Amino acid sequence: MPLPPLPLAGTLSLEGSREPMSSITYLEAIRLAQQRALKEDPRVFIYGQDIGVFGGAFKATKNLAKEFPGRVLDAPISEDAMVGLAIGAAVEGMRPIVEMQFADFSTCGFNQIVNQAATLHYRTGTHCPIVVRLPSGGTPGSGPFHSQSMEAIYAHYPGLVVMTPATVEDAYTMLLEAIELEDPVIFCEHKFLYYHLKAENLPATVGEALPFGKARIARPGRDATIVAYSAMVHEALAAAEELIQDGYEIEVVDLRTVRPIDTDTILASVARTGRLLVVGEAWPWGGVAAEVIARVATEGFGLLDAPPQRLNAKETPVPYHPALWGTHRPTASSVANSLRQLLEL
Amino acid sequence: MTKANSTKTKGSQTKSSEGSSAVTVARDLSRRAYLTMLEARLLEEKLAALYRSGKIVGGVFLGRGQEALSVALGVHLRRGDIYAPLIRDQAGRLAFGDTTLDTLRTYLGSSLGSMRGRDGNIHRGRPSEGYHAMISHLGAMVSTVCGGLVAKRFRGEKGAVGATCIGEGGTSTGSFHEGMNMAAVENLPLVVVVANNQYSYSTPNDRQFACSDLLSKAVGYGVAGHRAVGNDLVDCLGVIGEAVAAARRGEGPQLVVADLLRLVGHGEHDDASYIPEAMKKSPLGRDCLELARHSLIEREWLSHEEADSWHKAVEKEVEETASKVMREPAPDPSEEDWNAFASPSLGRNLKLGGI
């Protein structure tokens, strides 16, 4: 299938105003994490469509088949069987990574993920350490079937860890962590961040990163809290920058992992600010933003000075045309508008 | 898993003088298979009785009429192989090493069973020992077994096979198709046995598939195909034995199709009134256990007296085991950790607000 066009330059608001110093992209971090895992752990192999000699639709496995012969395997177009194979291999002690070509196609492997992988440990006591990588989220021109954000669907199921890294460093360390975990991990890597997010260098050890499951205060503040994850962290940070001119200091919490969810860090932030806006690129209905608000409302109602708000994608399929798409998803500008409304409540 | 059953060793000591070694092997295998079929049948009759008396919660799904086909796969597998049985595979399970005890524990929800009350009836296994625990979604286990075989290939283990069973209805699923195709692409030592029992729950074959012969699927997938007479133990043992041997020799996936009839409903709640009387009276409807007994006695591989004594011994063992399991503790909700994660750091130490 055709690769969607690259994100339009300038539409992505990078963290702060920092200029990237070197060229380790979010995508390269994912490739390097896999390279390291293949090198250091003989149990690791990667299975997915077009990932061998071709290096993957997005090149996340570029040159890995050559460097690790027989361990980066092209799969038939069979998402259900791809995940089934990973589960069976994990039961026998391997650490498989499945690359879905797009997160959207994971629906074809949904049954194996939620009914077999997620239940295996609880039912039988046998661990199921698989990683399913989902190239997620929208990019201009990608349309309804190459743009979806699936984290809420998978987070719904007990037994699945769902990671949504927002930074180059997290993409690297969290993928390594995902491979180490004894549980099935849905690794939602954002396609919009693939090429445009860069870092100076990568942590040498996973230990340099935040502990697993811990949310990050991406930006401290005092007047309101934005909880976001994945690409929306960067829209939130840009909106926070914009509100400085209004005299507000906005705190941004990057969930990093949506399940388990770090309710403690969210509540601590809301305790500081008294106001909450949750931003998600996925649809609102039953989503991660709804879950965060439910938790704050039930566990931290007294901390709130105003009704908690959420901003999600519009409730239609993800549209094709960049003009429609740019309005469908939350942006720095729509986040800033929501923040201003929240601050007036 | 090992199986201790005194009736088996007792049985294998008779009639050892005459015949070639091949005949001796066939005789011993047939006797072992017949005894296992008998165990499966009597165990399932006990399960049905427990269900009718309200002792088993949920469904009871029996393999009556399919024991010959099921056991023929189980007895050809060995330690180090991978086995993913399906609904009507009590006989194959017992042959692979599952026990009457764990079957009863799982059906009765004993906390001492392998599933500890977390899953029940046919959903039992010990995946880490190569004995997979089926999910209800048909076809899903085909690719799972492929994965186990890929792992063995990565480790350089040779000679192991993977095997799974499915009904004709299950061949309609996308999972079955994807798994078969994948096994063929990877040339894995996989044996898939299709029990064509004519009805998928209540749906007859003419509403399930339109091809004239399910075995033609083997050609489509590019795998070897075998046909067995589903209620003939000796035929099933021969055909499946050859399929398993071919897979072990590295000849790739093997598809076995066998016609038969399930002699019970889909579950014990179902009277199977949709199966026409004429079909029940046709050769398809002949009881594989009776046929096997007759066949073995005719070959002088088994005597009436021996078969009767096996029956009594198995019946006694099943009754004693059921009595024991019914006294075992049920799972205690207050002692459950209610945590679906395996990683020790999840749900316990992190205190992340009830993940």
Q: What is the edge-to-edge ordering of all strands in the sheet holding A224-228?
A: A216-219, A250-254, A224-228, A276-279, A309-311
Rounded distance between C-alpha atoms, residue A183 and residue A130, angstroms: 7
A124 CA: distance to closest CA in chain B (Å) = 6
Residues A248-253, mean pLDDT to the nearest whole number: 98
Residues B35-48, mean pLDDT to the nearest whole number: 98
pLDDT at A58: 97
pLDDT at B18: 52
A220: pLDDT strictly greater than 90: yes
Window 313-352 of B: residues touching A by CB (8 A cutoff) are 340-347, 350-352
What amino acid occupies position B271? D
pLDDT in tens, B290-346: 999 999 999 999 999 999 999 999 999 999 999 999 999 999 999 998 999 998 766
**Residues for chain B: how many in total?**
355
A271: pLDDT strictly greater than 80: yes
Torsion of CA B6, B66, B130, B48, to 10 degrees: -70
Rounded distance between C-alpha atoms, residue B345 and residue B342, angstroms: 9
Give the closest of B82, B178, B341 to A78, CB-based.
Answer: B178
pLDDT in tens, B47-68: 999 999 999 999 999 999 999 9
Reduced to 3 states (helix: H, G, I; strand: E, B; else coil), residue B192 is strand
pLDDT at B29: 97
pLDDT in tens, A102-160: 999 999 999 999 999 999 999 999 999 999 999 999 999 999 999 999 999 999 999 99
Q: Name all domains of chain A by residue range, CATH numbers in brackets.
A: 24-208 (3.40.50.970), 216-344 (3.40.50.920)
Query: Which of A80-84, A172-176, A197-201, B189-193 bottoms out in mean pLDDT, i.e. has the lowest?
Result: A197-201
Window 68-97 of B: residues touching A by CB (8 A cutoff) are 82
CATH of domain B20-329: 3.40.50.970
Query: A261: left (phi > 0), else alpha (psi -120 to 50), else beta?
Result: beta
Residues B176-193: b if buried by 16+ CB within 10 A, e if exposed? bbbbbbbbbbbebbbbbb
**Which ranges of chain B does DSSP label H, i.e. alpha helix?**
6-11, 21-52, 67-74, 90-96, 100-108, 140-154, 174-186, 216-221, 233-248, 277-281, 288-298, 304-326
pLDDT at B353: 32
A211 CA: distance to closest CA in chain B (Å) = 10
Contact present, A311 and A335 (Cβ < 8 Å): yes
pLDDT at A22: 62
Rounded distance between C-alpha atoms, residue B278 and residue B98, angstroms: 36
Radius of gyration of chain B (CA): 21
pLDDT at B100: 98
B10: pLDDT strictly greater than 80: no
Rounded distance between C-alpha atoms, residue A191 and residue A231, angstroms: 9
Single pTM value for the model: 0.93
Residue B91 structure tokens:
């006989």
Q: Judge whether B182 is closer than 8 Å to chain A, CB to CB.
A: yes
pLDDT at A100: 98
Reduced to 3 states (helix: H, G, I; strand: E, B; else coil), residue A147 is coil
Rounded distance between C-alpha atoms, residue A223 and residue A306, angstroms: 11
Q: Report chain A's mean pLDDT, rounded to a whole number.
A: 93
CA angle, A268 then A273 then A274, to 5°: 95
Contact present, B65 and B263 (Cβ < 8 Å): yes
Rounded distance between C-alpha atoms, residue B246 and residue B52, angstroms: 43
Q: Which of chain A's residues have a Cβ under 8 Å away from the Cβ of B342? A: 121, 127-129, 182-183
pLDDT above 90 covers a percentage of chain B that reads 88
Radius of gyration of chain A (CA): 19
Rounded distance between C-alpha atoms, residue B186 and residue B183, angstroms: 5
pLDDT at A204: 77
Residue B238 structure tokens:
């021969």
A4: pLDDT strictly greater than 90: no
Q: What is the pLDDT confidence band of residue B20, given thresholds at 50, 70 and 90?
A: confident
Signed CA dihedral, A262, A115, A189, A91: sign only: positive
Q: What is the pLDDT confidence band of residue A11, given thresholds at 50, 70 and 90?
A: very low
pLDDT in tens, B104-137: 999 999 999 999 999 999 999 999 999 999 999 9
| C-beta atoms of A111 and B175 within 8 A | yes
| C-beta atoms of B181 and A76 within 8 A | yes
CB atoms closer than 10 angstroms to residue A268 = 17
pLDDT above 70 covers a percentage of chain A that reads 93
pLDDT at A14: 35
Q: What is the pLDDT confidence band of residue A211, given thresholds at 50, 70 and 90?
A: confident
B348: pLDDT strictly greater than 60: no
Query: Which of A20-29, A193-202, B193-202 bottoms out in mean pLDDT, i.e. has the lowest?
Result: A20-29
